[in-house]
Amino acid sequence: TLKKRTVAHLLRNQLRDSLQKTLSTIGAVGDALGRSVFVVGGFVRDLLLRQENFDVDIVVEGDGIAFAEEYARRYDCRVRAHKKFATAVLIFADGFKVDVASARTEYYLEPGALPTVENASIKLDLYRRDFTINTLAIALNGPHFGELLDYFGGQNDLRGKAIRVLHNLSFVEDPTRMFRAIRFEQRLGFQMGRHTVHLLKSAVRMGFLDKISGPRVFNELVLIFRESDPLPAMRRLDELGLLAFIHPTLSVRHLSDGTFAAAKQAVDWYELLYTGERCQRWKVFFLCLLSDLDHGEVQQIVQRLAMPPQCEEFFGSERDAATRILNQIEWRSMQSYRWRDSDIHALLKDLPVEALLYGMAITEHEEARRTISHFITHLRHVKCLLRGHDLQSLGLAPGPIYREIFDALLDVRLDGQVVTREDELQFVTNRYVEKIEEKPSR
Ligand code: ATP
């Protein structure tokens, strides 16, 4: 077991000063209230792995909400309490958040259902967790500050790079843990222990995945797609039968390693170029996963996962439009068709950026990929210079004609036929002379 000194050393070296101070003040409030407090879970796991993690989860033996309120009275922060779950969030002036929970135990009346909850000791609280590597806790109370609690062999499994459940019914009680196991394996470069794989396979075989609601499965998939390289996890989901359970045709076998790598490259490229405009990278990967499926199959998946309406539209009509448009672009690039920028713009302007990046990833035509990237970098944000009041002062009466004029102006700008404001005014005067009612007031 790691010595108290070693953990204290890690806390000092790995964490920034303000976070160290927060942890010790949390311990001090625990002392004042006569309650034991711990930092637990992923935070401790990542601390021992020397990886940064800003999700601080605190567990109090006793009333977590009362603890958080007392902490906020003494130190400068706000509290948001969730009575139903006996949890609270401390929100500091700089926006930093700390989750506080009451130590509790959970039992499951039915597989896949949400658990019944009761107050408990820290040990029972740790026992309800998913994997041994997530059961570590560090005591924060003054006299014990820095003591590591390792009841279930978490450190051993961190050293052995193993993902292990705590007991045989773990996947049955909460089948979402199957997805979590695979996500942690790939993220940390760990492997499930043999017995854990065996338990997972039995739970799949016995159909326990059917007990999880659509939104919970969807959430797990999104979390996997948010990891930096989701393909290995997808392969593992496929191999263990988890994709097929979502839909019998869902598989990554049709995908080459290149597709996900290209998706990752496209997303990284975009996020590097447009730091202010993050895209939802998980959608790009999800589209790759669905790339071989027809409209009906995707609809069944959308239903199975009970996707929210906005995602339903994205994976429904917007995906269909993207596929159609990509086909056109590929076809035209095979014909060596000479694009005008206004054509490219007209074709791509309504597609969400995630669909554009998917197009870049999936196409095998270099020319098509270049066309899309040219749109993203050079055409997407082009606007004409004139505004409504400019048209009015040219003597044009407001109406639907304005939309037409702005579209025409955008086209000639995209094609380089106008550059300055004067050019635009000239263009409108020439093209729409018959619509001009009065003498320009300019
Ligand atoms: P991440 O870095 O992905 O946030 P994490 O380990 O912090 O990983 P969370 O999903 O934030 O994961 O969960 C916090 C803690 O709650 C975990 O460390 C784990 O102990 C526990 N936990 C989360 N989900 C489950 C689950 N389905 N079953 C049991 N314990 C869980």
Residue with tokens 């929210």: 308
Highest mean pLDDT among 118-122, 138-142, 316-320: 138-142
Alpha carbon dihedral 357, 414, 313, 266, in 10-degree steps, equals 10
- Does 246 score more than 80 pLDDT? yes
Angstrom distance (rounded) from CA 111 to CA 185 = 24
Angstrom distance (rounded) from CA 346 to CA 379 = 10
Task: Render the burial of 281-291: b for 16+ CB within 10 Å, e for the rest.
Answer: bbbbbbbbbbb
| Atom 4 of ligand 1, residue of closest alpha carbon | 42
| Atom 27 of ligand 1, residue of closest alpha carbon | 177
The pLDDT of residue 275 is 78
Q: What is the pLDDT of residues 60-89, one digit of tens each?
A: 999 999 999 999 999 989 999 999 889 999
**Phi-psi region for residue 146, left (φ > 0), alpha (ψ -120 to 50) or beta?**
left
- Backbone phi, psi, residue 63, to 5°: -85, 105
Percentage of residues in the chain with pLDDT exceeding 90?
A: 78
The pLDDT of residue 57 is 98
Fold that domain 4-160 belongs to in CATH: Beta Polymerase; domain 2 (3.30.460)
Which neighbouring-strand residues pair with 270? Answer: none
From start to end of 164-251, where are the E strands?
A: 191-192
Ligand 1 centre and the CA of 85: distance in Å? 16
The pLDDT of residue 182 is 97
Average pLDDT, the chain: 92
Ligand 1 centre and the CA of 366: distance in Å? 42
Among residues 114, 110, 103, the alpha carbon closest in space to that of 30 is found at 103
Angstrom distance (rounded) from CA 312 to CA 293 = 15
Angstrom distance (rounded) from CA 107 to CA 125 = 11
Ligand 1 atom with the smallest distance to the CA of 180 is: 27
Mean pLDDT value across residues 21-35:
97
- Does 27 score more than 80 pLDDT? yes
- Does 49 score more than 70 pLDDT? yes
CATH number of 161-253: 1.10.110.30
The pLDDT of residue 168 is 97
Q: Which of 134, 152, 184 to mutate to test the pocket of ligand 1 (most atoms within 8 A of CB)?
A: 134
Residue with tokens 């996890």: 233
Mean pLDDT value across residues 92-100:
96
* First-to-final CA distance of the chain: 83
Q: What is the pLDDT of residues 292-307, one digit of tens each?
A: 899 999 999 999 999 9
Ligand 1 centre and the CA of 227: distance in Å? 15
In the 8-state DSSP scheme, what is residue 20?
Answer: H
Among residues 219, 150, 116, the alpha carbon closest in space to that of 3 is found at 150
| Atom 12 of ligand 1, residue of closest alpha carbon | 42
Ligand 1 centre and the CA of 189: distance in Å? 17
| Atom 26 of ligand 1, residue of closest alpha carbon | 130
ipTM score assigned to the predicted complex: 0.95
Ligand 1 centre and the CA of 101: distance in Å? 13
Ligand 1 atom with the smallest distance to the CA of 43 is: 7
Highest mean pLDDT among 161-170, 262-271, 328-337, 391-400: 161-170
Q: What's the alpha-carbon Rg for the chain, to the nearest Å?
A: 28
Ligand 1 centre and the CA of 298: distance in Å? 30
Q: What is the pLDDT of residues 267-288, one digit of tens each?
A: 999 998 887 777 899 999 999 9
Cα 422 to the center of its chain, rounded Å = 46
| Atom 8 of ligand 1, residue of closest alpha carbon | 42
| Atom 24 of ligand 1, residue of closest alpha carbon | 130
The pLDDT of residue 1 is 62
The pLDDT of residue 197 is 98
At 60 the three-state DSSP class reads strand
The pLDDT of residue 311 is 94
Q: In what order do the strands lie in the sheet with 77-82?
A: 77-82, 87-92, 97-102, 56-60, 37-40, 137-139, 148-149
| Atom 15 of ligand 1, residue of closest alpha carbon | 41
Residue ranges of the domains in the chain? Answer: 4-160, 161-253, 255-381, 388-435
The pLDDT of residue 289 is 92
**Residue 66: how many other CB atoms lie within 10 Å:** 16
- Does 125 score more than 90 pLDDT? yes
HSE-up of residue 314 (Cα within 13 Å, Cβ side): 18
- Does 442 score more than 60 pLDDT? no
Q: What is the pLDDT of residues 337-366, one digit of tens each?
A: 788 999 999 999 999 999 999 999 999 899
CATH architecture of 255-381: Orthogonal Bundle (1.10)
| Atom 2 of ligand 1, residue of closest alpha carbon | 42
Residues in the chain: 442
Ligand 1 centre and the CA of 38: distance in Å? 16
Ligand 1 centre and the CA of 348: distance in Å? 40
Q: Which of 46, 130, 182 to mutate to test the pocket of ligand 1 (most atoms within 8 A of CB)?
A: 130
Ligand 1 centre and the CA of 135: distance in Å? 10
The pLDDT of residue 252 is 85
Ligand 1 centre and the CA of 223: distance in Å? 12
| Atom 30 of ligand 1, residue of closest alpha carbon | 129
Ligand 1 binding residues, C-beta < 6 A:
41-42, 55, 57, 129-130, 134, 174, 176-177, 180
Ligand 1 atom with the smallest distance to the CA of 53 is: 2
Ligand 1 atom with the smallest distance to the CA of 223 is: 3
**Residue 106 contacts residue 117 (beta carbons within 8 Å):** yes
Mean pLDDT value across residues 163-184:
97
| Confidence label for 26 from pLDDT (cuts 50, 70 and 90) | very high
Among residues 216, 208, 58, 33, the alpha carbon closest in space to that of 125 is found at 58
| Atom 11 of ligand 1, residue of closest alpha carbon | 42
| Atom 5 of ligand 1, residue of closest alpha carbon | 42
**Which carries the bigger pLDDT value, residue 231 or residue 43?**
43
Q: What is the pLDDT of residues 175-221, one digit of tens each?
A: 999 999 999 999 999 999 999 999 999 999 999 999 899 999 999 99
